[in-house]
Amino acid sequence: MNTLPIYTGRLGRTWHYAFRAGCVLILLFLMLPILVTIPLSFNVEPYFSYPISGFSLRWYQELLNEPNWALAMKNTMIVGVCSTLIATFLGVLAALGLSHRNLPHRELISALLISPMAVPAVIAAVGMYFFYTRFGLGNNLLGIILAHAVLGTPFVVITVTATLVGFNDNLVKAARSLGAGPTRAFFKVKLPLIAPGVVSGAVFAFATSFDEVVVVLFLGGVEQRTVPRQMWSGVREQLSPTILAMATVLTLISVLLLLTLEGLRRRGERLRAGV
């Protein structure tokens, strides 16, 4: 890393290293819980402390055999995929509208569209409970799908709007002048160019649904339990190593999602530099 100037005194030197050590400690604090729990999920004994007596996959085995977890994983996938599709479709359309050159009340509209991100989860969940149950959407996967789509749309709107800011509209004009219809110009030129933004938004929306527990607590019944919901009740009753196994799987998925985003960001930068 950056080296110290030759004239730095002893105090400066001490400070420099102390500061770095402190920062490394803070980074460790951020990484620690994840790093500590992953090995424990492979512990052969159901204890939560080190040293680990032996490695085994028995908790992962149990995860697969337990019907509750299987149902939870199925529900999580259904809810995640459906809500992401809804959020992405609606969010991309709205972002295209918001990117209009001089839209009156743009700030107000976008503030309204991203407001689900700002409202504390409990309040949204209470409101959805009051309102959805009236239409038979309580204890129903559709209710949770809609709720998660709501929570995911702000991310899609934000990422796609940000991508459109850097979009060169002349490319669409060029396509049109070369004879492409508006639909064709959109799907062949504009959409591929903003695709990294669309996919990042979708990844954000999916991750949001994937991690959401409060709405599910309020809106979901036993049949609608999702992975976070199952973990929640597991932690509150009796912490079992299967939960750590699930936590490890979830962390792995998060890492994959983060890497996807990082890849998309780099690709976006390359594209922008290329154009």
Partner 1 sequence: MTSITYTPENSPRAAPAGLSGSLRRAEGASRLKAYLLIAPLFLFLLFTFALPIVSVLWNSVDNPLFSRVMPRSSMALQAWDAARPGLPSDETMAVFAEELRAANRSREVSKLATQANFDTPGLRNLLIRTGRAVEREPGAVGRTQLQAIDAQWASRDTWAAMRRLGAELTPDHYLHALDLRRDAEGVSRQPTDLRLYMSVALRTFWISGLVAAICLLLGYPLAYFLAHAPARWGNLLLIMVLLPFWTSMLVRTVAWVVVLQTEGVLNSLLLALGLIDERIQMVFNRFGVVVAMVHILLPYMVLSLYSVMKSIPPAYVRAARSLGANAAVAFWRVYVPQTLPGVFAGVLLVFILALGFYVAPAILGGANDQMVSFYIADHLNNSLNWGLAAALGALLLIGVMTLYAVYARVIRAQRKDG
**Restricting to residues 161-190, which ones interact with partner 1 according to CB under 8 A?**
177
191 is a contact residue toward partner 1 (CB under 8 A): no
Please give the structure tokens belonging to residue 176: 């049109």
Of the pair 40, 202, the CB lying nearest partner 1 is at 40
The alpha carbon of 40 is separated from its chain's Cα centroid by a whole number of angstroms, namely: 25
Smallest distance, partner 1 to C-beta of residue 6, A: 15
Residue 155 as a binder of partner 1 (CB under 8 A): the answer is no
User: 81 vs 93, which CB is nearer to partner 1?
Assistant: 93
Contact between 21 and partner 1 by CB under 8 A: the answer reads no
Q: Which positions from 212 through 271 interact with partner 1, judged by CB under 8 A?
A: 213-214, 217-218, 228, 231-232, 235-236, 239, 243-244, 247, 250-251, 254-255, 257-258, 262
Q: Supply the minimum distance, in Å, between the C-beta of residue 29 and partner 1.
A: 7
33: which residues sit within 8 A by CB, 6+ positions away?
Answer: none
Task: State which of residues 14, 61, 115, 168 lies at the interface with partner 1 (CB under 8 A).
Answer: 115
Shortest distance, CB of residue 248 to partner 1, whole angstroms?
Answer: 9
Residue in 44, 98, 180, 271 binding partner 1, rule: CB under 8 A: 98
Residue 158 in the binding site for partner 1 (CB under 8 A): no
Least distance from partner 1 to the Cβ atom of residue 224, Å: 15
Contact 209, 84 (CB under 8 A): yes
From the list 6, 10, 26, 165, which residue makes contact with partner 1 (rule: CB under 8 A)? 26
8 Å CB contact between 137 and 147: no
Q: Which is nearer to partner 1, 56 or 133 (CB)?
A: 133
What's the closest the beta carbon of residue 180 comes to partner 1, in angstroms? 14
Compute the least distance from the CB of residue 175 to partner 1, in Å.
14
Q: Which stretch binds partner 1 (CB under 8 A): 72-80, 121-129, 164-172, 186-194?
A: 121-129
